[in-house]
Amino acid sequence: MFSQCMDWFELLLHLLVTSKWRIGLYGIMLVCKAVGTKLIAPVCVEYVGTGKLNRAVLSQLSQRELSGRSPFVLRLRFQLLGGLFFATVLPSLLQFVISQKISIAIGGTPLASTLALLAGFYILKRLTVYPGIRGGFYIIPIFSVVYAIVMAVWFFLRLDYSRLMFGVSFVSTISWFYFVRFLTSKYQRQLFAIVPQGRARSVSALTSMDWTMLTKSQTKVSELPSGCNAVLADFNSDISEDWQRFLAQCALHGIPVFDYRQVRESLTGKVRIEHISENTLGTLVPNAIYMKLKILVDFVAALVVAVFILPMLVLLAVMVKLSCPGPVLFRQTRIGYRGKPFTCYKFRTMVAQTEAPDGVDVSSREAAMTKKHDPRITAMGSFLRKTRCDELPQIINILKGEMSWIGPRPEAAVLSTWYEDKLSFYSYRHVVRPGITGWAQVNQGHVVEIEDVDLKLQYDFYYIKNYSPWLDLIILFLTIKTIFTGSGAK
């Protein structure tokens, strides 16, 4: 009975972390199966079989404890309960040993530590489901911010707390999750079995996972390779009845069955659309509520940042002016939200007379392209580009509602017209406001050639499909990293 209760407790944690009811249905199927009930299994097979996978694919695979197969270190309840011990129980015991009593101040600290732990744990799990995200990189930043916020709330509300306990809680919590990260690192690589029909074979070219191609003789669950984490299939192909029965049996036995497209998205961070019938974006309009909220957040953040960095902007403007003759700001017509042109502002980074003019002829198109080791870039301009400081004047565009802090980068009008002629669905990237930084920028950097822009478009589609504050937060962290490394700049 205790084991069954813990299964339901972990399912609740999983639902809170993923916030996706389809994944939740899959978890319910496994838990119901564990307690001897299979009534809900046919319903769940329908959802598992559709391949309607979201960005929590890898998170779900890493939580195979619901089917009773994964090591305990991968279990949410182990990680969370361990975190609660180190965040609350251990500091309380330490304080008691030192003072030999539990004061009112001490009594309020465990609540603050628990809230900080739960918030940090939730955010960490939400962020690490995205492709290429290493959880160890975000442990210190996330828990530092969360603990600072909670401590600020306690301070301004004049609630009693122990600084010693809170500090010990912070250090021990970070240490615990780094320890968990070390324990789980060897379980990160997964083994996927591929049904050899349709285009599912194409994912085997990805090297971040291990793949095994099934044969016609392997149409029984018992014949799956040892350690197989999931089965992939192309649900748009004509799957034979034998393979359909095999996929249904896999789902009933607690083995995830996914469409290969969604797994490819989760591993690469890209969404590829070649035909409208292959649209995996779901609704073509991103989350309207978050879009409106983001406008407000962008505006307020732009006002605050503009006030704080105004002295730096003035200094950079003087340095640009002194570096070479010409205007301080570079103005260029770019294509923005819903395909509307707007004037984009940047610090000038090139020799003034060679800046790209607006127009549609081939020469203006070439001038609008910034290539590697471009001779037009000044010494000051090279520094601005590597640190991304040349983009700071676009705060003006954010205040005018033309841009966002995070979104697909706006292209020059002459380049946008060219890309639309060459690439299908290119204009769809204008369904959200363009940003100063974006998912394509932190993964690919600046590109101009058609082949590279096609890849960039797949990153943009992934951002639009997964349009959320969690992905924006990931991009913010990666942008900060990029500023210090200078990667992707030209």
DSSP output for 423-466: STTGGGGGGS--EEE-HHHHHT----SHHHHHHHHHHHHHHHHT
DSSP state of 489: -
Q: Are residues 173 and 227 in the same domain?
A: no
Q: For 312-320, what is the mean pLDDT? A: 94
Q: Are residues 343 and 458 in the same domain?
A: yes
Q: Are residues 171 and 150 in the same domain?
A: yes
* Domain of 206, in residue numbers: 2-62+188-268
Most confident of 43-52, 93-102, 340-349, 440-449: 340-349
- pLDDT recorded at residue 62: 42
Contact 194, 213 (CB under 8 A): yes
Q: Are residues 170 and 309 in the same domain?
A: no
The reply to whether 294 falls in a domain is yes
Cβ-based neighbour number of residue 420 at 10 Å = 16
What are the two backbone dihedrals, phi and then psi, of residue 412, each rounded to the nearest 5 degrees? -60, 145
Q: Model's pTM, two decimal places?
A: 0.74
How many Å separate Cα 166 from the centre of its chain?
Answer: 30
Mean pLDDT (the chain, rounded): 78
* Sign of the dihedral through C-alpha 137, 177, 75, 121: negative
The C-alpha angle with vertex 378 and arms to 377 and 380, in degrees rounded to 5, equals 125
User: Taking 70 as the threshold, does the pLDDT of residue 68 lie above it?
Assistant: no
Q: Are residues 42 and 173 in the same domain?
A: no
Q: Which of 56-60, 209-213, 305-309, 325-329 has the lowest mean pLDDT?
A: 56-60
Q: Are residues 231 and 173 in the same domain?
A: no
Residue type, 141: P
Domain boundary among 134, 151, 186: 186
Q: Which of 29-43, 92-106, 160-174 has the lowest mean pLDDT?
A: 29-43
Token pair, residue 388, equals: 């991304």
- pLDDT recorded at residue 344: 96
The reply to whether 477 falls in a domain is yes
Q: Look at residues 368, 333, 335 and name the one whose alpha carbon lies nearest to residue 354.
A: 368
What are the two backbone dihedrals, phi and then psi, of residue 50, each rounded to the nearest 5 degrees? -70, -20
Cβ-based neighbour number of residue 91 at 10 Å = 25
Alpha-carbon distance 16 to 122, whole Å? 8
Is 347 exposed, middle or buried, given 0-12, 13-18 or 19+ CB atoms closer than 10 A? buried
* Sign of the dihedral through C-alpha 408, 413, 417, 418: negative
Q: Are residues 225 and 255 in the same domain?
A: yes
Q: For 47-64, what is the mean pLDDT? A: 42
User: Taking 60 as the threshold, does the pLDDT of residue 129 lie above it?
Assistant: yes
Token pair, residue 58, equals: 């890898």
Q: Are residues 261 and 295 in the same domain?
A: no
Chain position carrying tokens 């969690």 = 470
> Residues of the chain with pLDDT > 70: what percent?
76
Q: Are residues 111 and 144 in the same domain?
A: yes
Q: Look at residues 382, 380, 363 and name the one whose alpha carbon lies nearest to residue 372.
A: 382
The reply to whether 67 falls in a domain is no
Q: Are residues 127 and 256 in the same domain?
A: no
Q: Give Cβ neighbours of residue 211 (< 8 Å, ≥ 6 apart).
A: 191, 192, 193, 194, 203, 204
The C-alpha angle with vertex 264 and arms to 140 and 472, in degrees rounded to 5, equals 40
Token pair, residue 113, equals: 């530590």
- pLDDT recorded at residue 20: 41
Q: Are residues 386 and 406 in the same domain?
A: yes
Chain position carrying tokens 């029909």 = 197
Q: Are residues 57 and 140 in the same domain?
A: no
The reply to whether 68 falls in a domain is no
The reply to whether 263 falls in a domain is yes
Domain boundary among 160, 186, 212: 186
The reply to whether 283 falls in a domain is no
Q: Look at residues 458, 449, 467, 452 and name the one whose alpha carbon lies nearest to residue 407.
A: 467
170 — pLDDT class (breaks 50, 70, 90): very high
Most confident of 40-54, 84-98, 205-219, 305-319: 305-319
In the chain, how many domains are there?
3
Q: Which of 33-37, 157-161, 174-178, 334-338 has the lowest mean pLDDT?
A: 33-37
Alpha-carbon distance 139 to 176, whole Å? 10
The reply to whether 69 falls in a domain is no
The reply to whether 447 falls in a domain is yes
| Beta strands in 151-306, from DSSP E residues, in sequence order | 191-194, 210-213, 230-233, 257-259
